[in-house]
Structure 1
Amino acid sequence: MSPYIMSTSDLILRVFVDSIPILPEFSTQIRRIEVESQVNLPSSCEIEFTDPDLTIPMECGLDIGNFVEVRAVTGDDAAGEAIFFGQVETLEIQFENSGGKLSVVRAYDASHRLLHGQKTMGYPMMSYSEVAEAVGAEHAIVTEAVPHPVVHEMVVQANETYWDFLVRLAKEIGYVVNVAINPLTGTPALHFGPTMPAETAPPSISIDPSPLSFSIGDDRIINLEASVSGSGITAASSARGWDQSLGLPSLGEAPTMSDTSLNTVLPEELGAELGGVNQFVRLENLTGNEAATEAASEGLAARLSGAYANIEIEMRGNPSIMPNRAISLADAGLLTGEYTITSSIHTFAPNLTGYRTSLVCSGLEDRTLAGLQDSAVTSSKLTGVYSAVVTDTEDPEAMGRVLLSFPWLSETYVSPWARVVQPGAGQMLGWQILPEPTDEVLVAFENGQLNSPYVIGGLYSQDRRGAIPFGEIVQGAPMIRAYTSRDGHQLIFNDSPENTSLTIQTTLGASCMVRLSPETGIEIITLEEQPIVITSASDVTVNSEGAVLVNASDVTINGEGDVSVSAEGALELSSTGELSIAASSVNVEASGDISLVAPAVDVSGGIVNLGA
């Protein structure tokens, strides 16, 4: 037997407060009840009372914040089937000349808790389903999340309500979000998962009839419109992204196949016939790796394909008609088949039409394909550049990335690892300069997405100044360009007319310095007794077209082999002290005269030979 109530003429809608039906003196004043539900939207309930004294909502306990339940009941089944459970959010009064004073109560299901306020935060190393479970737990909502295999480095809620955030995630991967009601207990649960496949619909012809199977001419149906269209459909859908770890594009593709509409017309065939080889390409949200791109392609294909068929039925009251349930339709020509319900409206007007139900089966989106363009995009794109503060530079993958905070946006949110723009970066090329923790930096976002930041430069401020005062750097025009490391090591380009030079120095010039100047040449200076050492594994040659001058307190020349001193002109050795020449043997030879001049000359030896 079916667990659902069959549509009958004596079905009515009844209002319960704290599981107790409101008193007959109030229920008889109900002019209209309307319960509207749709995937990816909160369900709403509007109750309208004829109320001359404008007191009924308060008298029957329908104050703002109180819980209300609506059930479809019959005389034989006073408990009936729940179609709504939610919380009163709005009270309104109206006046009509013909109808008098009216009190209107509006309530929303449990998902309304996810619509109060916007927030920015990150969920590291989680799938979208795990994020949905975390959000549901935070708001004390029972959550049924169907697992999804793709785990993301960081899932970012970008200044969105929790509801908009979950809907965006769901649409990206072809899931839906809605609060489903247990028809017997009325217990709500947040559903995050794929749509109910249309093939799960009950058969249109069965010994045991179902409230979810229909045929053209069915006496339950008041009117019906059904259509199928290939407008805008392509045979395949594609999402795109960029894998920041690999530095490569990620491309996904999925066939346009639908499991929310099953009939004799196939959307992929329509796409191939009308669109040829063209694809529907999604660029609104760039994904971060191949797996995420494939999932986004499949989600796009599901949304696109579901829009090709549209079924609208108005019928006698049928509480079994709820979003994300499947119906079957017979005797409908090429549209005979199975369909997943997208939205439903239950209306009870006791003095007019009684209980009526309407349904729409139109896939995961509104049935206009234009709605696809921004359906899975964060509501607020960050299209400019923004200030951020570096919080960490210890990149676990050693790629030179940093973590960022955005104090103007959130006190707690920290970004995913962000790449830093490096001038001239390439394979074994370019600068490698990372900002320090607490540094202020300027950030841009790939495709305007908060989860894809890039650091494009550092910033000075009143409290964070450069090592060289800008008053010295700018003298009518920028004269000095400099880079300073944390320990004060500097590379300084000085273009001032009186001191044009390139200087490399340590500790802000307090220890070692190399200065290259077109005016004074090359200077190598140490200021705190640091030695200057030149080491070479091969020859060292000093060439000068002028003089070479070496001044020092002591000069020592050591050679492990021969030492040769030669000159094309005169060679002079002079000293105000002694001159000592010591060797195993000494040869003095001249092609001309040798002259020794001194007050006295001593020549001594074992044998002394003097000859000509």
Structure 2
Amino acid sequence: MADIGFSNILTVNIAGSPLKSPEDKKLVGGWVDFGAGVPGAFQLTFRDSKKDVLAKLGVEIGVPVIIAPLSDGQGTPLITAEVTALETDYDATGTFTVIRGYDRGHRMLRQRRVAAYKNKTATEIAVELARKSGVPIGETQTTKGHYEFISQANVTDWDFVQRLADENEMVMSINSKGLFQFVKRKRAATAPAPIPPGAPTGPRASGGKSGIVLKGGEEITRCRAAVTSADQVAEVAVRGWNVTTKQSLINKVPANDNPGLEIGTTPAAVSKKFGKAELVETDTPYDTLDEVRLAAESLADDVTASFAEVEVTAHGNTELRPGVAVTLQDVGKPFEGKYTVTAARHTFGDQEHYQTFMNVSGRQWRSLYGLTSGGGGSSARLPSVANALVTDIKDPKEQGRVKLKFPWLDDMYVSDWTRTVQFGGVKGGGIISPDVDDEVLVAFDRGALDHPYVIGGLYNGVDKPDPGDVPVYDATRGKVTRRTLSDRSKNRLDLLDQSVGLQRGVRLATGDDRLTIKLDRTKTEIVIDSKGKVSIRGSGAVAINAGGNLSLNAVGSLTIRSGGPMNINAASMLSVKTGGALGMTAGAAMSFTAGVSLQMTAAINIGLQAATIKSTGLLTSNLKPVLTIGGI
């Protein structure tokens, strides 16, 4: 198959119109830069002695631009972008106007977003965010599994989708037509086989197979390749914790090779010469085995990707862009082989050939945008602690979990069910949960927004503790005098420790103070004070024992009832006194028994229908016998 070449002539379409004479003659240079994980960028430089190029071309911020090198009378699109910056530059060499811009992916970098996504796949989230940014959708592939809950923690849509891509072994990019893509990474093994000696070379010299073969001394004008054992390990491991099953999670992946490299050696081959080593990642909290597995595979890919790096300068080729599999031939061993491109820079200029600078560097940020933006990484992790407001307490698991919002972060974002610090314990401990609209202090597990923990409540200028009748501290001695556990209804438990006064001990009170139980440390007594009824009940026996005197006092009536026999026993004298009448009624026989004598000193009126008196001795009245009974 014949070689396909490209000239150094650019076809440029601005705002829907092709660049025409004489302005096309003023274009003296340009470049297009691509990097994995960052938007594509371009620059066009015009000689502009009259400073009228922008006006004649109708260029302004936001107009669309399509750039393509000319080949066989046609321009294969290299980038579909839009203008984001305009510059003028003049010195002794002349006056120049510069037009800069990015592909549509830059729109996803314009806004930081705080959002939560529930029960969605990475692909669904990526497509949703691309559409919100106005980026048209191209090819997408479905990822395995889904996120039960994941937070976009005040990072750009681009950075968040890039994170999803890394975690799911996908590639996010904008293609030459400006369409968003979210697909699996193309393996280096898909590159064509080396070309036999004497056969034609070029972009499609592989006999119709997709991919490119670049030969040293022909397409390649410069090559720098390196293979290193630095940071290579035998295996990587990622650990996590499953809250539902209360079990640790771990997944190990051998770091043997990398899908983006297929050359004369492997990461495993160079690392084993120095002994076995393992890399364990614990910086990010993971909750499920699927998350741990994907993270381990992604980490292994990161480590092995740095095993080999290539920088190639080749004759210009629009097909050289991130994600494309290429074969390098005649560059020496062990560097010959197949690679997946991670960055490409296409340059054009007066009296210069169209060239492409290609990089293979794994996920290392080598594009101009990646370097100047600090790598396109996400923002710093959240602070270790922050305040939040409780929005929901209806925990379906009844574990005291709550949902939170963070007013300092976003008005709409609401967390997933968040665990609260409790006493804990297996089938024990306790639950004291915050209430809706309470301000609480939150800690973030390793800085992750979607892993908060409520560690306590906070007072503020509106929400204040109940002042109580005992001050919190003794201003004179500088000591705490009251510690209180209370709810919103003011039902409370007070631990009192006044150095001066009677308020020492424990007090349990209802919110209306109609029922109070005091454990008085000063008087060493227990006081139950109720404005209503006090009941003591026991399903079995109830015993009240006093080491000293026992008093029962009632302002009203005092009633003692027994469902069975009632026994009143006194070790010595039993005295029953009443200010009025004393009545005793028996439903059956009534018996009075005295060990010595029985006396009644008041006047007694006895009315009987019939009486039977039995005596074994003399019956007297006023010390005189009235009746002698012979013992009948």
User: Could you say if the C-alpha distance between residues 600 and 237 of structure 1 is closer, same or farther in structure 2, counting changes exceeding 3 Å?
Assistant: closer
Q: 2:110 aligns with which of 94, 113, 116?
A: 116
Aligned to 1:457: 456
The answer to whether the 8 A contact 2:40-2:102 is kept is yes
TM-score of the superposed pair, with normalisation by structure 1: 0.91
Matched, 1:68 2:58: no
Alpha-carbon distance between aligned partners in 1 of 2:496 and 2:578, rounded to the nearest angstrom? 43
Q: CA deviation at 1:55?
A: 1.9
SS state at 2:382 partner = coil
Alpha-carbon distance between aligned partners in 2 of 1:522 and 1:138, rounded to the nearest angstrom? 68
AA aligned to 1:478 is V
Q: CA deviation at 1:357?
A: 0.8
Q: CA deviation at 1:590?
A: 2.6
SS state at 2:179 partner = strand
Matched, 1:193 2:195: no
User: Could you say if the C-alpha distance between residues 572 and 583 of structure 1 is closer, same or farther in structure 2, counting changes exceeding 3 Å?
Assistant: farther
Q: CA deviation at 1:378?
A: 4.0
Aligned to 1:281: 280
Q: CA deviation at 1:106?
A: 0.5
Alpha-carbon distance between aligned partners in 1 of 2:125 and 2:338, rounded to the nearest angstrom? 32
Alpha-carbon distance between aligned partners in 1 of 2:260 and 2:175, rounded to the nearest angstrom? 18
Equivalent positions of 1:340-355 (< 5 A) are 340-351=340-351, 353-355=352-354
User: Could you say if the C-alpha distance between residues 92 and 151 of structure 1 is closer, same or farther in structure 2, counting changes exceeding 3 Å?
Assistant: same
Give the fraction of aligned pairs with identical amino acids, expressed as a percent. Answer: 26
Q: CA deviation at 1:6?
A: 4.8
Count how many residue pairs are aligned between Structure 1 and Structure 2.
Answer: 591
Matched, 1:138 2:140: no
Q: Which moved more, 1:385-394 or 1:202-211?
A: 202-211
Alpha-carbon distance between aligned partners in 1 of 2:147 and 2:614, rounded to the nearest angstrom? 98
AA aligned to 1:22 is L
Q: CA deviation at 1:572?
A: 1.3
Alpha-carbon distance between aligned partners in 2 of 1:468 and 1:376, rounded to the nearest angstrom? 52
Q: CA deviation at 1:285?
A: 2.0
Q: 2:535 aligns with which of 533, 536, 552?
A: 533
The answer to whether the 8 A contact 1:254-1:297 is kept is yes
Alpha-carbon distance between aligned partners in 1 of 2:396 and 2:375, rounded to the nearest angstrom? 34
Q: Which moved more, 1:165-174 or 1:101-110?
A: 165-174
Q: CA deviation at 1:377?
A: 7.0
Q: Deviations over 1:288-324 (max 9, x none)?
A: 2221111111111112112211122101111111111
The answer to whether the 8 A contact 2:159-2:377 is kept is no
The answer to whether the 8 A contact 1:258-1:302 is kept is yes
Alpha-carbon distance between aligned partners in 1 of 2:251 and 2:415, rounded to the nearest angstrom? 26
Matched, 1:77 2:81: no
User: Could you say if the C-alpha distance between residues 9 and 156 of structure 1 is closer, same or farther in structure 2, counting changes exceeding 3 Å?
Assistant: closer
User: Could you say if the C-alpha distance between residues 194 and 274 of structure 1 is closer, same or farther in structure 2, counting changes exceeding 3 Å?
Assistant: farther
Aligned to 1:606: 611
The answer to whether the 8 A contact 1:235-1:269 is kept is no
Q: Deviations over 1:449-472 (max 9, x none)?
A: 111111111111221122335983
Equivalent positions of 1:375-394 (< 5 A) are 378-394=378-394
Alpha-carbon distance between aligned partners in 1 of 2:278 and 2:464, rounded to the nearest angstrom? 52
Q: Which moved more, 1:408-417 or 1:469-478?
A: 469-478
Q: Deviations over 1:486-512 (max 9, x none)?
A: 333211112223211311122241x32
Aligned to 1:129: 123
Alpha-carbon distance between aligned partners in 2 of 1:220 and 1:191, rounded to the nearest angstrom? 29
The answer to whether the 8 A contact 2:119-2:146 is kept is yes
AA aligned to 2:613 is V
Alpha-carbon distance between aligned partners in 2 of 1:198 and 1:377, rounded to the nearest angstrom? 25
Q: Deviations over 1:566-609 (max 9, x none)?
A: 11111112223223141522333333222232234648543212
Q: Which moved more, 1:379-388 or 1:35-44?
A: 379-388
The answer to whether the 8 A contact 2:440-2:456 is kept is yes
Q: Which moved more, 1:262-271 or 1:206-215?
A: 206-215
Aligned to 1:334: 334
Alpha-carbon distance between aligned partners in 2 of 1:95 and 1:535, rounded to the nearest angstrom? 99
AA aligned to 2:113 is K
Q: Deviations over 1:367-406 (max 9, x none)?
A: 89xx9xx989742212332111111111233332111111
Equivalent positions of 1:110-259 (< 5 A) are 110-143=104-137, 144-181=139-176, 187-205=177-195, 209-211=201-203, 212-256=211-255, 257-259=257-259
User: Could you say if the C-alpha distance between residues 145 and 342 of structure 1 is closer, same or farther in structure 2, counting changes exceeding 3 Å?
Assistant: same
Aligned to 2:300: 301
SS state at 2:186 partner = coil
The answer to whether the 8 A contact 1:172-1:376 is kept is no
Aligned to 1:54: 51
User: Could you say if the C-alpha distance between residues 215 and 412 of structure 1 is closer, same or farther in structure 2, counting changes exceeding 3 Å?
Assistant: closer
User: Could you say if the C-alpha distance between residues 471 and 378 of structure 1 is closer, same or farther in structure 2, counting changes exceeding 3 Å?
Assistant: farther
The answer to whether the 8 A contact 2:392-2:404 is kept is yes
Q: 1:556 aligns with which of 559, 566, 569?
A: 559
Alpha-carbon distance between aligned partners in 2 of 1:366 and 1:220, rounded to the nearest angstrom? 25
The answer to whether the 8 A contact 2:496-2:504 is kept is yes
Aligned to 1:100: 94
SS state at 1:129 partner = helix
Alpha-carbon distance between aligned partners in 2 of 1:564 and 1:208, rounded to the nearest angstrom? 121
Alpha-carbon distance between aligned partners in 2 of 1:103 and 1:392, rounded to the nearest angstrom? 58
The answer to whether the 8 A contact 1:142-1:190 is kept is yes
AA aligned to 2:106 is H
Aligned to 1:479: 481
The answer to whether the 8 A contact 2:343-2:366 is kept is no
Alpha-carbon distance between aligned partners in 2 of 1:481 and 1:191, rounded to the nearest angstrom? 60
The answer to whether the 8 A contact 1:173-1:300 is kept is no
AA aligned to 1:573 is V
Alpha-carbon distance between aligned partners in 1 of 2:272 and 2:376, rounded to the nearest angstrom? 25
AA aligned to 1:131 is I
The answer to whether the 8 A contact 1:91-1:106 is kept is yes
SS state at 2:274 partner = helix
TM-score of the superposed pair, with normalisation by structure 2: 0.88
Q: CA deviation at 1:87?
A: 0.8
Aligned to 1:503: 507
Q: Which moved more, 1:241-250 or 1:492-501?
A: 241-250
AA aligned to 2:538 is S
Q: Deviations over 1:123-175 (max 9, x none)?
A: 22222222111101111212343322232232211121222222233223333
Gaps of 5+ in 2: 204-210, 618-632
Equivalent positions of 1:319-330 (< 5 A) are 319-330=318-329
Aligned to 2:207: none
Alpha-carbon distance between aligned partners in 1 of 2:346 and 2:377, rounded to the nearest angstrom? 31
User: Could you say if the C-alpha distance between residues 330 and 437 of structure 1 is closer, same or farther in structure 2, counting changes exceeding 3 Å?
Assistant: same
AA aligned to 2:540 is S
Report which of the two structures shows the higher radius of gyration computed on alpha carbons. 2
Q: Deviations over 1:419-444 (max 9, x none)?
A: 1111x211122231111111111111
Q: Which moved more, 1:60-69 or 1:445-454?
A: 60-69
Gaps of 5+ in 1: 182-186
